[in-house]
Amino acid sequence: MSKPSSRNEPMTIARLAQHLGLAEGTISRALNNYPDIAEKTRQRVQKAAREMGYRPSSSARRLARGVIETIGFVLPTCRTQHSDPFLAEILNGLATELSLHDWDLLVTSVPDGHDEVDVIDRLVGSNKVDGFVIARTRREDARVNYLRQSGVPFVVQGRTDHPDDYSWLDIDNEQAFVEAVTYLRGLGHVKIACLGGDPTMNFAWQRRSGYLRAMAEQNGHIGVGYLIDGITDELTAFRAAQRLLAITENDRPTALLCVTDAVAIGAMHALTRAGLRVGEDISIMGFDGLPIGRAVQPALTTLHQDSYEIGREAGRMVLDLCTNPPSAPKQTLWQAKLTPRASVNPPAQSPAQQNKGGF
């Protein structure tokens, strides 16, 4: 058996073969677990490969296996996509999980004049990816409809209105808002307003549904103008909160439930600008559990979802689909965790006084 060469030289199959006194074909087949290689030889080759720092060539491995080892992610076409901290954390978790398995993440955006399906179709047609992860789903989503027909493995972060026949990972958004209303009602709030998102987005629709269901079941009061849809960022939230503050003081809500943390922070700015105290005059609750929620004053009560771990799990799911196609879709529903902080407190008056109006 020859001595190994300098550590500065890259370890190759040829060098392993020379070191072990075996044919290069035997080394390759042992590393790839071919059944015609004796178990003793396979273990010997793989042990030497580990000790000598051998790493297979990505291009050679992909050619041998007939896979690209790349997952595609097309950024959703929305104005705030590049500043969406929730989406950024999902991508971070997804990229981390893929890299642990020597797979790559291809992230691309949508050029002007095209839509997300155009980009997905181009990636499928050019064989640049083995599968997709998609996020920020609409209730009726053209991306999901396309991928259903394409035969390409995909995992959805979120769901559509009809999610039975594909793999997805989602948060129980409706139940989370039911629990949020329950928590506020338990503190004595009756007049609870809601800043909802785009109702064509499934997560926003589910949260809206949870708010309405819980308010009806728990005898909450939804006054005129309490439910405002289409709030997608801090600026629109700031303006929507100003509309709520324009309601006469006797009819004004004492608590505000927001579709995201970013929306909640925009509403907090509006209250502060108006000279009101968040958590004392009006309580505010968000959704996402973003780190910035701990830094604002007062700290933001939120419904926490671990966006980084969501990305990790989506990565595990899509890798499994690409390497071990299941007989049935895998569907996972996680629960959000209520995280109380200083932005939510009991109303300034008792429930009996609140029913009469005023703070």
Domain 173-305+339-356: CATH superfamily is: Response regulator (3.40.50.2300)
Indicate the Cα dihedral angle 55, 56, 62, 65, nearest 10°. Answer: -120
CATH topology identical between 13-56 and 173-305+339-356 = no
| pLDDT the model gives residue 354 | 44
pLDDT digits (tens, 9 = 90+) for 135-187: 999 999 999 999 999 999 999 999 999 999 999 999 999 999 999 999 999 99
The CA-CA-CA angle for residues 329, 337, 137, to 5°, reads 40
pLDDT band at 337 (very low <50, low <70, confident <90, very high): very high
248 burial type by CB count under 10 A (0-12 exposed, 13-18 middle, 19+ buried):
exposed
Residue 325 has which token pair? Answer: 């196609």
pLDDT of 56 strictly over 80: no
| pLDDT the model gives residue 308 | 95
Q: What are the domain boundaries of the chain? A: 13-56, 70-171+307-335, 173-305+339-356
| pLDDT the model gives residue 356 | 42
pTM score > 0.85 for this model?
Answer: no
| pLDDT the model gives residue 33 | 78
Phi-psi region of 292 (alpha: psi -120 to 50; beta: other; left: phi over 0): alpha
CA–CA gap between residue 189 and residue 181 (Å, rounded): 9
Residue 113 has which token pair? Answer: 């004049």
The domain 70-171+307-335: what is its CATH number? 3.40.50.2300
CATH class of segment(s) 13-56 = mainly alpha
Q: Flag the least confident range among 13-27, 85-99, 245-259, 287-301.
A: 13-27
pLDDT digits (tens, 9 = 90+) for 243-298: 999 999 999 999 999 999 999 999 999 999 999 999 999 999 999 999 999 999 99
